[in-house]
Amino acid sequence: MSQSFYLSLTHYNLLELPNWVGFGNYKEIFMGDRDFWKVLQVTFTYVLMSVPLKLLFALLVAMLLFRAMRGMSVFRAIFYLPSLIGGSVAISVIWRNLFGMDGFLNHLLRVIGIQGSDWINSPETSLYTLVLLAVWQFGSSMVIFLAGLKQIPRDLYEAASVDGASRLHSFFSITLPMLTPIIFFNLVMQIIGSFQMFTQAFIVTKGGPINSTLVFALYLFQKAFAYFDMGYASALAWILLTIIGLFTTFIFWSSKKWVHYET
């Protein structure tokens, strides 16, 4: 890390010795790089859309799969599978073909008489395809929610039922408060992972069109390995680390107000 921070204070292109520029890279990023602000906008949009949706789907599916029924373990495995393979290059290629102009989605739409769109190559919809890919990988959070649901004492629900509480009331008064530590953990992990999203954007959209899916990690990669500006890329890496640190610090600080631990 110390070497990375040192390089962020230099101009370094792998071919020559690092040239000390102080905080020149940081100044250029914040004051002279218009693409940087577009990258921030895209990245924040992606994170703020994908993380809540992924956690919501994970919780809903976990509650459905929590029931003790025959064959439920098979369904749990099926829903968990995307989280194992969703970040692979193969799935990213499939996703590109699925939402391409001649993809499977448009084929289905044409069957029912609806004109499709070039979802991947349209600036208005390209980012949403990446968000959808992220939400599809809710399996890991779902498994953690399942573990949390098993830790909730059954007698709490029995007492609520005796008092005439509905299922909806029991969910908001028992299930949700008891799951707040799990929600907290999943939230932190998903935010950290979402800020570092790279493979999907690199394979599916390559940051386009018109930088509409140019997320932070991909922009950093381009600066480092397309333009060989390692000093600039190192500065971007430290900025990304700072952003993630600020987000997680805020979540930890706010957790005192909404996370409830069983005593």
Domain ranges, ordered by start, for the chain: 2-258
Distance CA 216, CA 237 (A): 9
pTM of the prediction? 0.92
Convert 6-44 to b/e letters by CB count within 10 Å (16 or more is b): ebbbbbbeeeeebeebeebbbeebeeebeebeebeebbe
pLDDT band, residue 163 (cuts 50/70/90): confident
Report which of 154, 136, 169, 127 is spatially closest to residue 58, judged by C-alpha positions. 136
- For the chain, give the mean pLDDT: 90
Distance CA 174, CA 225 (A): 51
Q: Is 164 left (phi over 0), alpha (psi -120 to 50) or beta?
A: left
Q: Quote the pLDDT of residue 36.
A: 96
pLDDT band, residue 263 (cuts 50/70/90): low
Helix/strand/coil percentages in the chain, nearest 5: 70, 0, 25
The share of the chain scoring above pLDDT 90, in percent, equals 59
Hunting for tokens 């099926």 — which residue is that?
Answer: 78
Q: What is the mean pLDDT of residues 185-194?
A: 96
From the options 3.40.50.2300, 1.10.3720.10, 1.10.287.10, 1.10.10.350, give the CATH code of 2-258.
1.10.3720.10
Q: What is the mean pLDDT of residues 106-125?
A: 86
pLDDT tens-place string over residues 67-114: 767 777 888 888 888 888 877 778 888 888 888 888 888 888 888 888
